[in-house]
């Protein structure tokens, strides 16, 4: 199958490799070509714009940074909607605003094609291993058509509802992660100040009621002093701000999310935006 892939960052590059390695023809574009060179060397075909990618592909996948990037990739002067053709399907895997997913879907339908929003969870580890959780929004028929491809990227894939539902589910996911990151970070700080071995502590509690993905995958990185990104703080703050915006629209207050957002913005201000979310423990070092 001829596939388009737009966005070859920390997540996108590894996800695209799974499709390429499965034997599909891949046409790619990234704002910075350098980040796509490894894929090009492995057989992906570079195109100079989202429009050019779209003209060549049966299904176009996108995973970029921010809502403004999604807007530009789809609606820009050389965007995806300039290259639309019959039977095209669009799959946006970026975590973005639910109303933007609805806007893309509405435009797609007006042009005689279809789209789904399919944000992911699982970080760089899940992207490399093909074990991502994928939450989709759109119609069942379109979802079923792209499901065989999504199965190359993830192990838990579900259709959550109509367009935008995937993004709303991802917001719920990020709300849980925000609170979990706070708890894990505080546990590591507590262990250190209590004089106990953090590795032994994590090993013990990860098999009890506290067990979670964050303890298994990010706590060991903190213990080793590895703050490199599986998921950028900058992108996590973006996600939290979207969730808080949606909560405000629905007249609900998410106090723990507000606190996590505040703490991560402190790290951003200190220059940690391109570090991984596990860098939250640095807050306590600075508050001594």
CB-CB contact of 27 with 59 (8 Å): no
Residues 6+ apart with CB under 8 A from 5: 12, 15, 16, 19, 26, 27, 28, 29, 39, 44, 53, 60, 61
* DSSP helix, strand, coil percent of the chain (3-state; round to 5): 55, 15, 30
Closest-CA residue to 201 (of 131, 189, 213): 189
Residues belonging to the chain: 288
Closest-CA residue to 91 (of 158, 33, 147, 21): 147
Tokens of 222: 């903190």
Catalytic hit among 170, 200, 253, 275: 170
* Active-site annotation holds for 170: yes
Q: How far is CA 193 from the centre of its chain?
A: 34
Place of tokens 């060179």: 37
Tokens of 204: 């013990």
CB-CB contact of 276 with 233 (8 Å): yes
For 276, the 3-state DSSP assignment is strand
Hey, which residues are catalytic here? 170
């Amino acid at each position: 199958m001829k596939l388009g892939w737009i966005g070859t960052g920390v997540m996108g590059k590894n996800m695209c490799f799974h499709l390429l390695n499965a034997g599909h023809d891949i046409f790619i574009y990234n704002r910075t070509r350098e980040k796509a060179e490894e894929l090009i060397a492995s057989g992906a075909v570079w195109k100079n714009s989202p429009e050019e990618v779209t003209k060549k592909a049966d299904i176009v996948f996108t995973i970029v940074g921010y809502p403004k990037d999604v807007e530009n990739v789809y609606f820009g002067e050389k965007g995806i909607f300039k290259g639309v053709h019959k039977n095209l399907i669009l799959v946006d895997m970026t975590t973005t605003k639910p109303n933007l997913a609805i806007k893309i879907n509405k435009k797609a339908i007006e042009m005689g094609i279809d789209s789904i929003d399919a944000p992911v969870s699982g970080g760089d580890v899940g992207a490399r291993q093909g074990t991502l959780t994928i939450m989709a929004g759109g119609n069942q028929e379109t979802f079923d058509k792209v499901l065989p491809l999504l199965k190359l990227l993830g192990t838990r894939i579900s259709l959550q509802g109509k367009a935008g539902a995937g993004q709303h589910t991802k917001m719920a996911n990020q709300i849980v992660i925000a609170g979990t990151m706070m708890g894990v970070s505080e546990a590591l700080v507590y262990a250190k100040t209590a004089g106990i071995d953090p590795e032994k502590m994590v090993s013990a509690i990860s098999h009890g009621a506290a067990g979670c993905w964050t303890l298994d995958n990010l706590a060991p990185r903190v213990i080793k002093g590895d703050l490199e990104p599986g998921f950028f703080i900058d992108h996590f703050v973006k996600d939290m701000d979207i969730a808080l915006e949606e909560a405000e629209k629905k007249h609900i207050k998410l106090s723990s999310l507000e606190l996590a957002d505040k703490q991560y913005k402190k790290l951003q201000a200190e220059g940690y935006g391109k570090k991984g979310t596990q860098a939250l423990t640095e807050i306590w070092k600075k508050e001594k």
